[in-house]
Amino acid sequence: MAEAKKKAVAKKKSHAKKTAAKKTAAKKSAVKKAPAKKAAAKKGVSGYGSGSVEVVMSVDQVAKEAASIAANAPKVSELDALADGGTFLSINNLRAGYGKMEILHDFSLRIGRGQSLCLIGPNGAGKSTVLHSIFGFTNIFSGSIVIEGQDVTKLTPSQKLAKAGIAYILQDKS
C-alpha cells in the first residue's frame, strides 16, 4: 500500500511540473507577441468588428480651429444691434464652474427682450453650466449676469426669483 502512495505522489509531482512548464511557455509566447500588438496600435486602435479608430484631429488643430472661429465672430456691438426692444439677458466675460473647476472661460451672451435662444453643442461643451450659472447653481469666479438691467450675479436662486422673476424648473423624469 505504501508503494501505491509513493506512485500517486510521484504522479502528482510530475503533473505539477508539466503544468508549470506549460505556463512558462505561454508567458514567453505572450512576450514575443507584444511587439506585434504595439505595431498594430500605431496604425489605429482596433474596434468592434473590422474597423479601426484613427486620430481625427490633434489638440493643436482644435486650438487653431477655435482661434479661426473666434477671429471671424461678430462683435458684441453688432449682436446688440440685433436685439429689438433692448437687452433682456446679458452675460459678460463669465468664468464659472463647479467647486474649483472652471468650466466656462470668458463666456459672453446677449438675448433681446422677446427673443428665443437654443444652445446647441456636444456633451461637455458647457450648455447646462450656462443655465446653472444664470440660476445661481455654480461658482462664479468673475464676470457678470444682468437681467433687465439688474446685476443678478451674486444673488441666490431664491433672491433671483424674488427680485428678477427668474427660476429654474427641473425636468420631471416620469
Tens of pLDDT, residues 74-125: 887 777 777 667 888 999 999 999 999 999 999 999 888 888 888 888 888 8
Q: CB of 86 within 8 A of CB of 110?
A: no
Contact 110, 63 (CB under 8 A): no
Read off the DSSP letter of residue 73.
Answer: S
Between CA 79 and CA 92 the distance in angstroms is: 13
34 Rama class: left (phi>0) / alpha (psi -120 to 50) / beta: alpha
The domains of the chain are located at 83-164
Report the largest interatomic distance among the alpha carbons of the chain, rounded to a whole angstrom.
107
Residues 107/129, Cβ–Cβ less than 8 Å: no
Which residues, in sequence order, are CB contacts of 164 under 8 Å at separation 6+?
A: 147, 148, 150, 152, 155
- The sign of the torsion formed by the CA atoms of 29, 32, 35, 40 equals negative
Helix %, strand %, coil % for the chain, to 5? 45, 20, 35
Given a contact cutoff of 8 angstroms between Cβ atoms, the answer to whether 155 and 146 are in contact is no
Q: Which helix (H) or strand (E) holds 10?
A: helix 2-43
Across the beta sheet with 87-98, what order do the strands follow?
101-112, 87-98, 139-147, 150-151
Output the CATH code of domain 83-164: 3.40.50.300
pLDDT digits (tens, 9 = 90+) for 33-90: 445 444 444 455 555 555 555 666 677 887 888 888 888 888 877 777 776 678 889 9
Read off the pLDDT band of 17 (50, 70, 90): low
Residue ranges of the alpha helices (H) in 47-173?
A: 59-71, 76-82, 127-134, 157-164
For 5-14, what is each residue's pLDDT tens digit? 555 555 555 5
